[in-house]
Chains A and B, each alone.
Chain A
């Protein structure tokens, strides 16, 4: 460097490529993601739509236009509607149960006590385990020979107790086994979100209510719940959409059985596609699921407000 102070560099135009990148920067950044999503997200939808109007299965490959033949078969298929109802029942029971248990747990862990942080870290464990492994775990728990649950009941009733939980023809028993697993795995997830939201509730409001002498339940209903409602809504949305596509746990526990007693939408679609190879009907099935879920998602997302 020379000792003489040089004149500052005058403004200089960028190279054409740099200029192009600068002007189109925002689109250059999103296009890779959009392409990947189009390929994996949009292609299957279009494909399903296409094939659902043909007749392709294990025996015939007829690519001529079949009209709504496959859709007719789907809506007249009792097993399809059973799977919709089963999924609805599991979602309808598990979702409120997880919410209530999550709230109770959050209340228990709200105020500080020794060891609180460690227990919170431990209790979240079920939610990070692979769902299939969770299912396997509880299949072992419910096992009539190796499982501890029957053993515990034996201690309590003090006699011989040998219940086949997972292949029982009493739906009440099979369902309670599946729901136990589901609720066990995801209540901690609910709990963690609710605890965080609950801890963020404005303390001054709670103190004001306490001074006014409001009862605990009243404070919860009037102050706490309204404050955490947006978070509750998001948590229910995430869990609800997970439950609607429930697969792993049921696959591990019962594979939809006995019969089709615990068959969910996802399990039945799997059987149709990968055990029966009824390609066209599975395509119609997939398309119906995608469309109805998309509508549901859109409605939900509009309510949550994406921009928040």
Chain B
């Protein structure tokens, strides 16, 4: 028995590791399939039965996207998601500070703000489309940025509220006594104390905006098409351009992978909206 114990333990661990590996592979398989699609040659793309391993890596599908100017969608996504993230982070964080520190507006304001997050986009996008049409904001950076800013504000406020509460009040009071005014205290003491929170929240805010589909589908036409909408354009009525879908998806997903990899340790608190403190 006693000699058997450690070995059984090891076998169990190895078994779990193998099972975990298999499950992970299963979850990643569709990602692999789309990725492989993006590096197949035209012959391989249309081969039946499908080719599981491409014979060689072809970057032709990506080259086509650059040639046709379709990559502009990535650029558009970057501008819209980037700018709206910066604005939402700034406005949301100062509001979160006020709500967390001074209980501004009490529970009512907090509930109202978070409930804004939960309104389905489809229910508000229609009036906004008409309003934007009236003031010429459809298919402009400004329109989409404004919308994404508003759309992400509740999330930013909700998340940053938790991070503000983690900053010891004494640090602020000490700064106030030492000669800073409230605004300087916020910028020079509270913001640096929340560096990780600001970083994690911006990562998720950025991803939400980057991945967003309904608003972009309805409020853009040609000028500021974002990458998911560009992908949707490859589903033609007669034909589906799988190679382009693959290549465009890879281009649009890589930045997300990159940012998430940077925010690895902060992932849980970010996606659970603070329900589990990471």
Contacts and interface: CB of A to CB of B under 8 A. Distances in A.
Direct A–B contact in the complex, CB atoms closer than 8 angstroms: yes
B111 A301 contact: yes
A290 B231 contact: no
B267 A132 contact: no
A247 B102 contact: no
Contacts of B147: 40
If over half of B's interface residues share one DSSP class (helix, strand or loop), that class is named, otherwise mixed; here it is helix
Nearest to B92: A33
Interface string B187-208: 0000000000000000000010
A41 B116 contact: yes
Contacts of A22: 181-182
A147 B50 contact: yes
B23 interface: yes
A116 B19 CA distance: 11
A103 to B, nearest CB: 13
B33 A140 contact: yes
B124 A45 contact: yes
A44 B128 CA distance: 6
B267 A29 contact: no
A301 B242 contact: no
A229 B234 CA distance: 43
If over half of A's interface residues share one DSSP class (helix, strand or loop), that class is named, otherwise mixed; here it is helix
Contacts of A265: 120, 122
B126 interface: yes
A273 B31 contact: no
Interface residues of A, number: 99
A51 B131 CA distance: 13
A108 B121 contact: no
Given A128-B207, A298-B115, A116 B20 contact: yes
Interface residues of B, number: 100
A193 B119 contact: no
B249 interface: yes
A201 B87 CA distance: 38
Contacts of B98: 25-27, 29-30
Contacts of A226: none
A193 B268 contact: yes
Given A26-B98, A33-B91, A114 B17 contact: yes
Interface stretch (A66-74, A167-175, A184-192): A184-192
B20 A290 contact: no
Nearest to B97: A29
A245 B104 contact: no
Interface stretch (A57-65, A117-125, A211-219): A117-125
A81 interface: no
Contacts of A119: 20-21, 24
B168 interface: no
B123 interface: yes
A125 B27 contact: yes
A274 interface: yes
A36 B91 contact: yes
Interface stretch (B54-62, B64-72, B254-262): B254-262
Contact of B276 (A47, A231, A244, A247): A231
B110 interface: yes
Contact of A245 (B92, B94, B120, B207): B120
Contacts of A139: 235, 240
A132 B228 contact: yes
B268 A151 contact: no
A269 B273 CA distance: 28
A34 B242 CA distance: 44
A55 to B, nearest CB: 16
Contacts of B13: 111, 113
B97 A266 contact: no
Contacts of A273: 126, 129
Interface of A: 14, 18, 21-22, 25-27, 29-30, 32-34, 36-37, 39-41, 43-45, 47-48, 51, 105, 108-109, 111, 113-116, 119, 121-134, 136-141, 143, 145-148, 151, 154, 184, 188-189, 192-193, 196-197, 200, 230-231, 234-235, 238, 241, 244-245, 247-248, 251-252, 265-266, 269-270, 273-274, 279, 282-283, 286-287, 289-290, 293-294, 297-298, 301, 306-307
CB-CB nearest 8 A-B residue pairs: A40-B150, A245-B120, A130-B211, A234-B275, A29-B98, A44-B127, A44-B124, A33-B95
